[in-house]
Structure 1
């Protein structure tokens, strides 16, 4: 699918003007103390390298101290397969903290990328996917 670090990729059934809205999910072990806003800034900086224009249109902390999260929405213009596109990305960052050592965490990132025109139509489906993400106990190693 061209997304080498993604653990999950979902494609929308109905492309908009030749662009297929998609959801990608990846994660990274982040033992550092970087706040989620800083991790979100890292994503913005990565996209800035390929985007013609890029604006963070919203950013909001979500969750709790035990399960922090961040949402941000980006508006960008970029070339996709040689075609200039106005895209919107909704990004959600969820911190999964080790119950025994909260300094150890994995940050799960879920990203919806859609044309600006189709974004609002597929946003609820994305929210449904985000709502399914939760840690599960390690049944193979109950002490973890």
Structure 2
């Protein structure tokens, strides 16, 4: 069963991507998942969405560091290939790219995960800050081919105020 997000969001999947059952991806805490229709050597690139209300003192970099440590518990040779703060003071965000090796199915694979952390205010309670994490996981060979779709997806994510059609 999907884990609810701390604040409602709206988004649009890239063309061709298919909604998936988060529990099928072995990704605890995931609120939404989608898979690319063309697997690479048996591995389907996927987009996942999760979120939390972090402690007030936690920075986006702190949360990104936590993600790296969590991934190290299930994957090998996890490396941060890049990290960048983006967005504005009103809408801060952070991106990071992780490279690692993991067993998916019964095959060891070299994978790349691009993560985007978005800091959003709860529209119902502006004092409450939520962080939404969007992640693209793909084989090293397919990552760059699906990265544009993921970037398009990220651009559509916004708070869901329930007032838009």
2:13 maps to which residue? none
- The runs of at least 4 consecutive aligned structure 1 residues that moved more than 2 Å come to 97-104, 136-139
Q: 1:81 aligns with which of 98, 102, 105?
A: 105
SS in 2 for 1:20: coil
- Give TM-score, length-normalised by structure 1: 0.89
Q: CA RMSD in A?
A: 1.7
In structure 2, the CA distance between the partners of 1:90 and 1:129, relative to structure 1 (3 Å rule), is: same
**How far apart in 2 are the matches of 1:57 and 1:26?**
22
Deviation per CA, 1:13-72, whole angstroms, max 9, x where unpaired?
000001000000011112422110010000000001111211100000010111000000
In structure 2, the CA distance between the partners of 1:7 and 1:99, relative to structure 1 (3 Å rule), is: closer
Q: 1:27 aligns with which of 51, 54, 68?
A: 51
Deviates more, 1:90-99 or 1:38-47: 90-99
Q: CA deviation at 1:100?
A: 8.9
SS in 1 for 2:103: strand
2:159 maps to which residue? 135
- Give TM-score, length-normalised by structure 2: 0.78
* 1:112 matches 2:136: yes
1:63 maps to which residue? 87
